[in-house]
Amino acid sequence: MSAISRRRLLTAGAALIGFGALPTALRAQQLRQISFITPLNYLIGYAPALNAQAGGHFAKEGLDVTILPGKGSAVAVQQVIAGRALYGRGDPLAMAKAISQGAPIIAFATIEHRSPIVVYSSPKKPIRNVHDMIGKVIGIGDYGSASDNILDMMLAMNGMKPDAVHREAIGNSPGGWGLIQQGRVDAHIVSIGTTTVLKEQGEDIVFWSTSDALPMPGQAYFTQRETVAKEPDLLLKILRATKASIVEVRHADGATIVTRVAKLWEVEGAKQVEFTAKAMRVEEQLWWQDDTTKILKNDPASWKMMIETMLKAGLLKSGTPSDFYTDDIVAKL
C-alpha cells in the first residue's frame, strides 16, 4: 500500500471512529504539542484548562497541551518568559507589575471576571467593608501577595494610606479562622476556596468579595507579546477549546468533571468528589458569563479600574490599560 493510500485510510478511519479512538502515538504525531502553566498546583478552579485537555476540546483544535503546576503567578510569568510554557494563567496584578518592569508578556484573555479574593470575619465582630478595617488587624497571605496588594488598592480608593490598618502575614489556609476566634486578627483576606472550606465545615463567617469594593479582573491568560504577533491563530485555538470546556463544565455533572480530570492530574481535594464539585461551582461563578459571547473576553472598565488603582496605590509608576492586555485574539472568538 502506498504512503498516500495509507494516509487516506487513516483519514477515513478517523472520520468513522472518531479522533479520540486513534492510538495515542498517532494522535501525538497529528497534534501540536504546547505547554500551559497554572498559577498554583492543580486546583479544581482551573477546570476550564484541565477539562479542555481531559475532555478532548484541545484535541479537536489540533492541540495536545501539557499542563504544568505553577508555584505562584510570578513564577508562572517567569516560566512563560523563559519559553518553558507557551502561555499561563495568573493574577493580573502580578502580570501588570512584571510588565511594568519590562517583562515581554501581555494578557490575551480574562478567565475570571471577578477577583477570587474575599474578606471574611466573625459575625461577632464583623468587618463588612473597607471602612470597618481601619485601625484593625487584617490577616493577609504574605507581604507583597495579591491579598496585600488588593488591601493597599482598596485603601487607596478610599483615600487612605497603607498604614491605616495593621497587617499580619498568616497564609491562605482555613487556619486563619482560629486566629480570628482568638481575637488575634479581625479579618482575613484569602482566596474564595478557603471560605468555601470553612462554610462546608459549618463555620459561621461573614465574607464579601473584594470585587464589591474594587471591580477588577480576577485572573487572566497571558503569553509573550511575540506569540500574539506571530501565532494569533494558535492562541485563538486555545481560547476556542477553553470556551467549549467552560460551556461543557457549566452543563455537566460536577462529579463527572472532577473524576475525569483527576485521572490525569493530582487535583487537590479530588478524593472528596462531592465537596470538590461544589468548590468548582463556586469558582465557576467567577468565569462563567450567562451571555456566552462574553466568556474569556476582557472587560475594559475593570482593567481600567485595576490599572488606575494600582497607580494610585503606588504599585505601578506609569502605564495605561493597553500596555497590559490586548483584545487582538478574543475579538475573533
* Model pLDDT for residues 166-178, shown as the tens digit of each residue: 999 999 999 999 9
* Model pLDDT for residues 111-121, shown as the tens digit of each residue: 999 999 999 99
* Model pLDDT for residues 38-49, shown as the tens digit of each residue: 999 999 999 999
The number of C-alpha atoms within 13 Å of 115 and in the hemisphere containing its C-beta is 28
* Model pLDDT for residues 214-271, shown as the tens digit of each residue: 999 999 999 999 999 999 999 999 999 999 999 999 999 999 999 999 999 999 999 9
- Distance between CA 308 and CA 2 in Å, rounded? 64
Output DSSP code: residue 205. -
Domain 31-114+217-332 has CATH 3.40.190.10: yes
Length of the chain measured in residues:
333
Task: State the pLDDT at residue 285.
Answer: 87
Report residue 292's pLDDT band, with 50, 70 and 90 as the boundaries.
confident
Contacts 24+ apart (CB under 8 A), 79-82: 79/37, 80/37, 80/105, 80/222, 80/223, 80/224, 81/105, 81/224
Structure-block grid coordinates of residue 97:
507589575
On average, the pLDDT of the chain sits at 91
Nearest CA-CA partner of 105 in 71, 81, 79: 81
Is it the case that residue 74 has pLDDT exceeding 60? yes
Q: What is the DSSP string of 70-99?
A: EESHHHHHHHHHTTSSSEEEE-HHHHHHHH
Task: State the pLDDT at residue 213.
Answer: 94
Task: State the pLDDT at residue 291.
Answer: 72
Burial of 296 (0-12, 13-18, 19+ CB in 10 A): buried
Task: State the pLDDT at residue 5.
Answer: 35
Task: State the pLDDT at residue 290.
Answer: 65
pTM over 0.85? The answer is yes
**Dihedral of the alpha carbons of 164, 170, 171, 175, in degrees to the nearest 10:** -120
The answer to whether the 31-114+217-332 and 117-212 domains have the same CATH topology is yes
Higher pLDDT, 25 or 6: 25
- Distance between CA 331 and CA 201 in Å, rounded? 42
Output DSSP code: residue 295. T
Nearest CA-CA partner of 125 in 183, 81, 72: 183
Output DSSP code: residue 103. -
For cell 501588570, the residue is: 96
Is it the case that residue 22 has pLDDT exceeding 80? no
Q: What is the CATH T-level fold of the domain 117-212, as seen in this structure?
A: D-Maltodextrin-Binding Protein; domain 2 (3.40.190)
Residue-range domain boundaries for the chain:
31-114+217-332, 117-212
- What percent of the chain is predicted at pLDDT more than 70? 91
Q: What is the DSSP string of 145-181?
A: SHHHHHHHHHHHHTT--GGGSEEEE--SSTTHHHHHH
Structure-block grid coordinates of residue 203:
463555620
Task: State the pLDDT at residue 65.
Answer: 98
Task: State the pLDDT at residue 138.
Answer: 98
Is it the case that residue 126 has pLDDT exceeding 60? yes
Structure-block grid coordinates of residue 106:
501581555
* Average pLDDT estimate for 66-80: 96
* Average pLDDT estimate for 176-204: 96
